[in-house]
Amino acid sequence: MPASEDRKTAGSSNSSGTFTYSVVSGPATISGSTVTITGVGTVVLLASQTASGNYAIGTQNASFTVSAEAPTITFTLSNQTYGVAPFADPTSDL
């Protein structure tokens, strides 16, 4: 998953208990069910479900790896004639 993308979490269960989500470790934050990636590395999330009716409390971890996104680089030079004055590197200000 690229580091620049937010993701929604979604749990399912045969119980009607309410789900909550938290970040156990890694470069991410979570608000409600939206995970915001804050860097690269392995993220571990915890889904917790409240007890309901005949069902006890439940928890489950899930992990995923966030990869660095590859940059798009454009580099162009116009044709030059041998023997003319040197020209500036157009990327020198980057």
pLDDT in tens, 53-69: 899 999 999 999 998 88
CA quadruple 71, 29, 43, 25: dihedral sign: positive
Mean pLDDT by 10 residues, the chain (94 residues): 70 88 96 91 95 93 90 81 78 62
Predicted confidence at residue 31, as pLDDT, reads 92
Full domain range(s) for residue 56 = 6-66
Are 13 and 7 contacting, i.e. CB atoms less than 8 angstroms apart? no
The answer to whether position 38 is within a domain reads: yes
| Strand ranges of the sheet holding 41-49, from the earlier edge strand across to the other edge | 19-25, 41-49, 58-66
Are 37 and 27 contacting, i.e. CB atoms less than 8 angstroms apart? yes
Max distance between CA atoms of the chain, in angstroms, equals 87
Cα–Cα distance list, 16 to 49, 52, 70, 90 (Å): 9, 6, 42, 61
Predicted confidence at residue 8, as pLDDT, reads 82
Predicted confidence at residue 57, as pLDDT, reads 94
The answer to whether position 57 is within a domain reads: yes
What is d(CA 44, CA 23) in angstroms, rounded to the nearest whole number?
6
The answer to whether position 84 is within a domain reads: no
Q: How many structural domains does the chain have?
A: 1
